[in-house]
Amino acid sequence: ETGVTQTPRHLVMGMTNKKSLKCEQHLGHNAMYWYKQSAKKPLELMFVYSLEERVENNSVPSRFSPECPNSSHLFLHLHTLQPEDSALYLCASSQGGTTNEKLFFGSGTQLSVL
């Protein structure tokens, strides 16, 4: 248990569906992240929120829409996804505000787009 909880663990959706991934951290951290992990590719940084403000949007298609209502919760809203978006989506948190921080990852949501 890392203190970062992601739901659901698995998600299968069609290309016309709308779904949301949820992440919650119980560590008192101020920064939260979405990473995408595909087979044979490095972990790709998608979004970073620091103190609820988005500080990084790493050229992610608009069909992915993040939301950070407070420092403990992070969402990733999905709509009209493509099959190539199938991947493991990992949420992470860190203390925030310093240059040397370690990431605490959730267990991830395994997403399959049909």
Partner 1 sequence: GQQVMQIPQYQHVQEGEDFTTYCNSSTTLSNIQWYKQRPGGHPVFLIQLVKSGEVKKQKRLTFQFGEAKKNSSLHITATQTTDVGTYFCAGSGYNFNKFYFGSGTKLNVKP
Binding site for partner 1 (CB under 8 A): 2, 31, 33, 35, 40-43, 45, 48, 50, 55-56, 90, 94, 96-108
* Strand 4-7, strand 18-25: pairing: antiparallel
The distance of closest approach from Cβ of residue 44 to partner 1 in the complex, given in angstroms and rounded to an integer, is: 8
The distance of closest approach from Cβ of residue 91 to partner 1 in the complex, given in angstroms and rounded to an integer, is: 9
Smaller CB distance to partner 1: residue 32 or 81?
A: 32
CA distance 42 to 110: 16
One-letter identity of residue 12: V
CA distance 25 to 54: 17
